[in-house]
Structure 1
Amino acid sequence: MPSNLELFIADFHRVKNLGFSPSRRSNSTGIGKTFEDLIGVAENNLREADLHGFEIKSQRNLSESYVTLFTKSPTMPKGANTYLRENYGSPDSCYPDIKVLHTSIFCGRFNTHVSGASFSLEIDYTNERLYILVDCNGRIDRSVYYSFEQLRRAIQKIENLAFVRAETQRIDDIEHFHFTQATIFSSFISFENFLLLLDGGVIMYDVRVGAYKTGNKKGKTHDHGSGFRIKRENMARLYGEFNIVE
Structure 2
Amino acid sequence: MKTYTKESLIAALKEIKNRRWIPNARPGNSGGIGNTLEDLLGIQENNLPIPNAAEWELKCQRANTSALTTLFHMEPSPRALKFVPNILLPNYGWKHELAGTKYPVNEMSFRQTIHGLDRSDRGFMVEIDKTSRKVLISFDASKVDPRHTEWLAWVDSRAGLDELTPQPYWGFDDLYHKAGTKLLNTFYVQAEVMKNGDEEFFYYNRILILRGFSVENFVKAIVEGNVLVDFDARTGHNHGTKFRLRQNALPMLYSEIQEVV
- Following TM superposition, by how much is the alpha carbon of 1:203 offset from its aligned partner in structure 2, in angstroms? 2.9
1:31 touches 1:177 (CA, 8 Å); kept in 2? no
How many matched pairs? Answer: 219
Aligned to 1:146: 170
Aligned to 1:165: 191
Structure with bigger gyration radius: 2
Instruction: Flag the 1:206–1:189 CA change in 2: closer, same or farther, 3 A.
Output: closer
Identify the structure with the greater strand proportion.
Answer: 1
Higher relative CO (Cα under 8 Å, sequence separation at least 6) belongs to: 2
Aligned to 1:215: none
Q: Are residues 1:132 and 2:156 paired?
A: no
| Percent of pairs with identical residues | 14
Structure 2 segments unaligned to the other structure (5+ residues)? 48-52, 141-154
Among 27, 41, 44, the residue aligned to 2:45: 41
Q: Give the root-mean-square deviation of aligned CA atoms.
A: 4.3
Instruction: Flag the 1:37–1:87 CA change in 2: closer, same or farther, 3 A.
Output: farther
Identify the structure with the greater helix proportion.
Answer: 2
Tell me the amino acid that sits aligned with residue 74 of structure 1.
E
Aligned to 1:105: 114
Aligned to 1:216: none
Q: Pairwise mapping of residues 1-246 of structure 1 onto structure 2 (< 5 A)?
A: 3-4=5-6, 6-7=8-9, 10=12, 19-23=23-27, 30-31=31-32, 34=35, 38=39, 39-41=43-45, 53-54=56-57, 56-59=59-62, 61=63, 63-65=64-66, 67-68=68-69, 70-76=71-77, 77=79, 79-83=82-86, 84-95=88-99, 97=103, 98-107=107-116, 109-113=118-122, 118-135=123-140, 137=156, 138-141=161-164, 142-156=166-180, 157-161=182-186, 162-165=188-191, 167=193, 178=202, 180-188=204-212, 190-199=214-223, 201-209=224-232, 221=237, 223=239, 225-230=241-246, 232=248, 235-236=251-252, 238-244=254-260
Structure 1 segments unaligned to the other structure (5+ residues)? 44-49, 212-219
Instruction: Flag the 1:82–1:51 CA change in 2: closer, same or farther, 3 A.
Output: farther
1:20 touches 1:177 (CA, 8 Å); kept in 2? yes
* TM-score, length of structure 2 as denominator length: 0.60
Deviations 1:118-167 (A, max 9, x none): 21112223333211223455222244221222210133232533143352
Aligned to 2:50: none
